[in-house]
Copies of this chain bind each other. A is one copy, B any other.
Amino acid sequence: MTKRDERTRLIIDQTIQLLRDEGSEGLTLRKVAAACGITLSNLQYYFPGKAELIQATVAQFFTTCKELIQADRALVLPKDPESSRAFLKRVIEVLVVCDNQEFNVIFREIWALSSRDEALKATLEAYYRDYAQWMISLIEEIFPQANEIVSLLIPYAEGYALVGNTLPLNREKQVGMLVKLITEWPASPRSGKAGARVGVKR
């Protein structure tokens, strides 16, 4: 569209690439400028400070993630799922215990950056709230305790990206355990009725 938009997009794309290749430590305004083929001063015209550049970069990275997840959602929701168990396993494999190293690295850097940047922290939290709601809508038709399941799966997934390969159980067994846990989820104390085929919660 406008030149501003073009330039902004280019800068952000190069920033993501640099973040992935060299990490937050190696992320330098001069390197970004060089990667874009522009001057440091010109870069600073579009993003007055490093914080603003990172904020915009993270925001766009989240948008990309969302698009990928949308694609996975189509993948994960066949018209007529064989069983809720197979469906659930696919969800966990794709969304939760995904071994996308590239994304994991970027997320790790983002988490680090966020602990000293309140605006970025707010962006992150909004993203995760959104993500949780989306995941609930994905599974609530099948599992009535979607709130609880998602509240378990999201932190588990984030933690697994960090410590997954230090655990006593391997990846396959982790997935099996989660599937078993969720399909045999204990009944809610308030509803008093046992789990699998109660209607959707109000």
Chain A interface residues (CB < 8 Å from chain B):
23-26, 105, 108-109, 111-116, 125, 128-129, 132, 136, 147-148, 150-152, 154-160, 162-169, 173-174, 177-178, 180-181, 184-186, 189
Inter-chain contact B158/A162, CB cutoff 8 Å:
yes
Number of copies: 2
B156 touches A169 (CB 8 A): no
Whether B136 contacts A154 by the Cβ 8 Å rule is: no
Majority secondary structure, A binding face = helix
Inter-chain contact B128/A148, CB cutoff 8 Å: no
| Residue in B136, B162, B173, B181 whose CB lies within 8 Å of A186 | B181
A116-B23, A159-B159 as given contacts; A168 in contact with B181, CB under 8 Å: no
Given pairs A25-B116, A108-B111, A147-B169, 15 additional interface contacts (CB within 8 A): A23-B115, A108-B112, A108-B114, A109-B112, A136-B168, A148-B177, A151-B167, A152-B156, A154-B159, A154-B163, A155-B162, A158-B162, A159-B162, A181-B186, A184-B186
